């Protein structure tokens, strides 16, 4: 996960020591509708058998080719794979009949990944509404219904408190293993110590379903229960005000001995336990007591034309007694609020707020898909020359990539550069665009080729791609794969936007698809990856820890980096012509957008406990939420960790501008000032509610602040200047494409869309606006988006098409620009120090230029208007020279030096124009192709400096004799 430069600390170590207490799933369920195997053509000869996770690399280890790239099928020398806390190799803790690759990063992953050598069973499991803890005698069960504040109020939690334990008479198992799993369910097994027990549990399931062999059913309460119903095979009892029902097979009554109930189930037996909202709800639960859940799957369908995502959450059930199938499922707020299936009046308390119960074998939700853009348009009101200069400064940096780099920090470095490619393209800075593309493409190819300093390894035992060097436990603990690999997929999408062939299956796209599959494979029969490793479909978000070895369950800190992966996947899929990958990205992005604001920012209320005094949490845990993060960061980092990286895929943070503004003000109130750490991240977030305010802060500090490690000044400037002009996101308007956004400045909407295809398209918005978009391009009703093949003659600056407009150029403090400087400012012209410099420009002259201009000479002459002031100085004079390089080869083709302008001795602006005539000229004008214009200013006479006014109102300008 993200860590500020210069700080160190544990990434996935619990804020409190995990409980070390006493003491698993059928293969991943069904294929989601509309999603299939993501890698269809690459040869994968090595991905068929297990590779020991800690075997040292053999000399001459095989590099397995995947298109133009490759991975290694043996562990790189000196590297380590999945390990326990002592550093010893960790193998998946599964039963002999378990099928498929080992799921990790689940709410229940401590069952399959033994992180602590002394605990072979697992940690607390928060399924909601129930919680569980495995031990040698079976599975504790509780219902956390009362929050408490810990760590000086920084964390709220609904801790696991055992009310009872499911077991079998005489069970004393040496470990707990996973026997089967679905999208949100798991079956755990206890064997090797007397009888055998299997229990199936799941998110949203009030029932725990048990199977016994070699021993009778046994349910032990943690304290004396209040038994309020006892009728043969059905018992109703309460502990601590929490209510449970025990269901044994008909003809197998429960027998009580103290606080323990047993029933004669024996071999092939079964029973179930349900947590009830109230004792009066027993009759609503009893019909489903013997309808055993055997699998769970989410089916999703993306309707691009209708901008709708339909998701159906379905459980497979088997009637082990009677003929009733289906079950009861408790829906999280992000589900029931968007459900098209009726819910009952029954509900539970949970760390995510109220859960409401649906009856049957499935329920369905519908969400609006608000679009995923690859970049924002660059508006005319921005200073393009400053933007160009800032991009050049990034490229001139000493260390564009860390050395040797790792999957996270190298990923951020690639993301930082990749985000500048479309910006450079949008302002016609094609040289920088191409240099940036080459840098990103080269680093990607370095990573995607086995055998070098940076490479990927496939670990067959755990079914995962591991990048080396790694960081934050990505290899040893299988942490954060979506966070890390999202940067690779995002960078690849940028390359694909300008070089489709690069992303082909038989080129470099095959390796990118492997990374996507590692994070979010969709095929339940995928032979090498588990289904949806880094995304929990029922929870609506991902879990960061591979092993989930914490008393608080699993955790998710940087929800925004999970969203970054989702957006990148949608874009890469579209650009690669793979709708299944695109739909996967849309599904992940849209679903998380419905959950993140609720659970990390309490949007709408109802998530955080009433006495919790924080407006956001840095991390969501299985048992609650924590304001703290994985290092000793400040408030800006606690908020910002769930914003970064800022990309056009971050617009979901502004779908509710009022809420975004309230969150920003919450941070400012907490600080008692504007943000100072990661200020660019917070300016970008602020722009989603008030672009003018964000631009103000940038303009005041852009020359002095240090960007966050994954950001840059030109990207932040483009972001805040664009949103200052186009306004906030208008999520009420949709479009018939996956890649769009609409903005509203309070009176005018800006419609923006991206065309990832190879043919022109017309995008239709729900408010009736139509927008024509060329292939590979971003079109907008305000601003320039860039795009397309860099070799196309239609690109800005290429021969064959003019881009000088009416020839008006504006002076800014650092360059010439096609648009006026955004605010009133001044250029200082140094004193002549008493010398006569008429016609002799000194070394300290002001030089402003613009490159990449193409236009036809129209036969007119150069004109200029320069507001000048020398204050009360006597005998001062300013002089200007205009220089043309018509073909951009570095040779001046035309130089025009104008007579100096003698200023008066009174404060106030005077106008210096070409009307004074030329003092000298050399060369001739002709048509300009990718050329440049240079303006030079100096003091010809005088002992005092002078000022030139620039800005939007009557600022300095030059009109060159060229037109499109």
- Is the distance from CB of 822 to CB of 812 less than 8 angstroms? no
DSSP string, 688-725: TT-HHHHHHHHHHHTTT----TT--HHHHHHHHHHHHH
End-to-end Cα separation, the chain, in angstroms: 49
What does the chain come to in residues?
Answer: 964
Say which residues have a Cβ less than 8 Å from residue 869's Cβ, sequence separation at least 6: 903, 907, 908, 909, 910, 946, 947, 949
Spell out where 240-390 has E strands. Answer: 242-247, 255-257, 260-263, 269-276, 291-303, 308-319, 327-331, 347-348, 355-360, 362-368
Contact predicate 554/622, CB 8 Å: yes
Active site residues: 480, 557, 561
Q: Which of 927, 947, 929 is nearest to 889 (CA)?
A: 929
Strand partners for 896: 882, 921
**DSSP H or E run through 726:** helix 713-726
Structure tokens at 362: 């499935």
β-sheet with 217-221: strand ranges across: 125-126, 131-135, 138-142, 164-168, 217-221, 260-263, 255-257
In sequence order, what are the residues at sequence separation of 6 or more whose Cβ sits closer than 8 angstroms to the Cβ of residue 501?
507
Q: CA nearest 66: which of 344, 455, 408?
A: 455
Q: How far apart are CA 62 and CA 42, in angstroms?
A: 16
Q: Which of 880, 881, 869, 879 is nearest to 944 (CA)?
A: 869
- 749 sits in which H/E element: strand 749-754
Burial class (CB in 10 A: 0-12, 13-18, 19+), 629: buried
Instruction: Output the six-digit token pair for 602.
Output: 């309490």
The H helix count followed by the E strand count for the chain is 15, 50
Kindly list the distances between the CA atom of residue 99 and the CA atoms of 231, 331, 465, 693, 933, in Å, as whole numbers in the listed order. Answer: 40, 29, 19, 55, 68
| Contact assessment for residue 496 and residue 486, using Cβ atoms and an 8 Å cutoff | no
Q: Return all residues near 768 (Cβ < 8 A) that are at least 6 apart.
A: none
Do 393 and 399 form a contact (C-beta atoms < 8 A)? no
Please confirm whether the linkage preceding 595 is cis (ω < 30° from 0): no
Q: Could you tell me where the beta strands, DSSP code E, fall in 155-239?
A: 155-157, 164-168, 176-181, 185-190, 196-202, 207-213, 217-221, 226-231, 234-239
The Cβ of residue 959 has, within 10 Å, a number of other Cβ atoms equal to 16
Distance CA 743, CA 484 (A): 30
* Alpha carbons 735 and 744: distance in angstroms, whole number: 15
| Residue 163: C-alpha distances to residues 212, 224, 927 (Å) | 21, 10, 85
Element housing 556 (H / E): strand 555-556
What are 905's two structure tokens? 């001795």
Burial per residue of 38-62, b for 16 or more beta-carbon CB atoms within 10 angstroms, e otherwise: bbeebebebbeeebebbeeeeeebe
């Amino acid at each position: 996960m993200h860590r500020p430069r210069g700080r160190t600390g544990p990434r996935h170590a619990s804020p409190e020591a995990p409980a070390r207490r006493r003491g698993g799933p059928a293969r991943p369920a069904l294929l989601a509708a509309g999603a299939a195997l993501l890698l269809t053509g690459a040869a994968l000869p090595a991905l068929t058998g297990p590779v020991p996770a800690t075997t040292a690399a053999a000399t001459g280890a095989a590099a397995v080719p995947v298109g133009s790239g490759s991975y290694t099928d043996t562990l790189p020398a000196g590297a380590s794979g999945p390990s326990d806390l002592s550093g010893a190799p960790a193998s998946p803790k599964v039963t002999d009949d378990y099928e498929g690759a080992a799921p990790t990063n689940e709410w229940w992953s401590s069952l399959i990944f033994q992180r602590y050598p002394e605990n072979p069973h697992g940690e607390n499991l928060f399924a909601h509404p129930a919680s569980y803890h495995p031990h040698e005698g079976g599975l504790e069960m509780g219902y956390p219904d009362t929050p408490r504040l810990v760590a000086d109020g920084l964390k709220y939690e609904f801790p696991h408190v055992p009310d009872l334990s499911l077991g079998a008479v005489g069970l004393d198992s040496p470990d707990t293993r996973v026997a089967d799993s679905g999208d949100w369910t798991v079956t755990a097994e206890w064997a090797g110590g007397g009888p055998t027990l299997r229990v199936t549990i799941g998110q949203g399931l009030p029932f725990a379903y048990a199977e016994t062999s070699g021993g009778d059913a046994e349910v032990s309460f943690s304290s004396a229960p209040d038994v309020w119903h006892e009728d043969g095979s059905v018992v109703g009892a309460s502990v601590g005000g929490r209510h449970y029902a025990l269901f044994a097979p008909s003809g197998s009554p429960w027998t009580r001995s103290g606080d323990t109930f047993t029933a004669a189930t024996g071999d092939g037996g079964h029973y179930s336990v349900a947590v009830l909202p109230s004792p009066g709800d027993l009759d609503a639960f009893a019909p489903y007591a013997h309808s055993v859940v055997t699998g769970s799957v989410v089916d999703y369908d993306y309707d691009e034309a209708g901008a709708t995502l339909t998701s159906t959450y379905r459980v497979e059930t088997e009637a082990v007694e009677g003929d009733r199938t289906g079950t009861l499922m408790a829906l999280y707020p992000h589900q029931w609020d968007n459900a098209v299936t009726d819910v009952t009046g029954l509900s539970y308390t949970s760390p995510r707020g109220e859960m409401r119960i649906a009856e049957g074998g499935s329920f369905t939700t519908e969400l609006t898909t608000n679009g995923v853009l690859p970049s924002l348009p660059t508006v005319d009101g921005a200073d393009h020359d400053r933007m160009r200069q800032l991009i050049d400064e990034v490229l001139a940096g000493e260390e564009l990539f860390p050395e040797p780099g790792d999957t996270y920090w190298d990923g951020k470095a690639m993301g930082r550069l990749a985000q500048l490619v479309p910006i450079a393209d949008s302002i016609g800075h094609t040289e920088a665009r191409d240099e940036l593309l080459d840098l990103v493409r080269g680093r990607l190819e370095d990573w995607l080729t086995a055998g070098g300093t940076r490479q990927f390894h496939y670990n067959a035992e755990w079914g995962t791609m591991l990048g080396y060097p790694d960081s934050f436990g990505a290899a040893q603990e299988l942490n954060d794969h979506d966070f890390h690999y999202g940067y690779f997929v995002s960078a690849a999408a940028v390359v694909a936007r300008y070089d489709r062939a690069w992303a082909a299956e038989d080129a470099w796209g095959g390796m990118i698809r492997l990374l996507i599959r590692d994070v979010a494979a969709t095929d339940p029969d995928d032979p090498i990856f588990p289904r949806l490793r880094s995304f929990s479909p029922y929870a609506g978000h991902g879990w960061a820890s591979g092993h989930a070895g914490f008393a608080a369950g699993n955790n998710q800190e940087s929800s925004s980096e999970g969203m970054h992966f989702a957006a990148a996947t949608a874009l890469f899929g579209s650009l690669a012509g793979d709708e299944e990958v695109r739909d996967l990205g849309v599904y992940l992005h849209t679903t998380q957008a419905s959950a993140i604001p609720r659970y990390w920012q309490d949007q709408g209320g109802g998530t955080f406990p009433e006495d919790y005094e924080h407006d956001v949490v840095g991390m969501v845990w299985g048992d609650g939420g924590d304001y703290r993060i994985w290092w000793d960061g400040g408030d800006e980092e606690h908020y910002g960790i769930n914003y970064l990286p800022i990309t056009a895929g971050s617009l979901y943070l502004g779908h509710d501008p009022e809420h975004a503004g309230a969150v920003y003000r919450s941070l400012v109130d907490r600080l008692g000032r504007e943000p100072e750490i990661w200020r660019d991240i917070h300016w970008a977030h602020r722009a989603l509610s008030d672009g003018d305010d964000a631009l103000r802060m940038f303009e005041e500090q852009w020359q002095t602040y240090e960007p966050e490690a994954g950001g840059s000044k030109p990207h932040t400037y483009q972001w805040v200047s664009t949103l200052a002009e186009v306004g906030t996101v208008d999520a009420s308007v949709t479009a018939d494409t996956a890649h769009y956004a609409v903005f509203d400045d309070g009176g005018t909407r800006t419609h923006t869309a991206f065309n990832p295809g190879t043919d022109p398209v017309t995008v239709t918005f729900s408010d009736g606006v139509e927008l024509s978009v060329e292939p590979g391009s971003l079109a907008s009703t305000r601003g320039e988006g860039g795009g397309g093949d860099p070799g196309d003659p239609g690109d800005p600056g290429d021969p064959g098409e003019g881009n000088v407009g009416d020839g008006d150029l504006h002076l800014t403090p650092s360059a010439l620009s096609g648009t006026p400087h955004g605010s009133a400012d001044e250029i200082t012209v140094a004193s002549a120090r008493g010398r006569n410099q008429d016609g002799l420009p000194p070394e300290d002259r002001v030089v402003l230029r613009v490159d990449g201009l193409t236009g036809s000479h129209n036969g007119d002459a150069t004109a200029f208007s320069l507001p000048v002031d020398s204050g009360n100085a006597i005998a001062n004079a300013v002089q200007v020279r205009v220089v043309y390089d018509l073909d951009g080869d570095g040779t001046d083709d035309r130089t025009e030096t104008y007579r100096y302008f003698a200023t008066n001795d009174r404060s106030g602006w005077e106008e210096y124009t070409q009307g004074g005539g030329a003092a000298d000229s050399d060369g001739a004008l002709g048509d300009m192709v990718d050329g440049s214009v240079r303006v030079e200013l100096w003091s010809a006479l005088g002992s005092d400096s002078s000022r030139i006014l620039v800005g939007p109102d009557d600022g300095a300008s030059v009109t060159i004799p060229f037109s499109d």
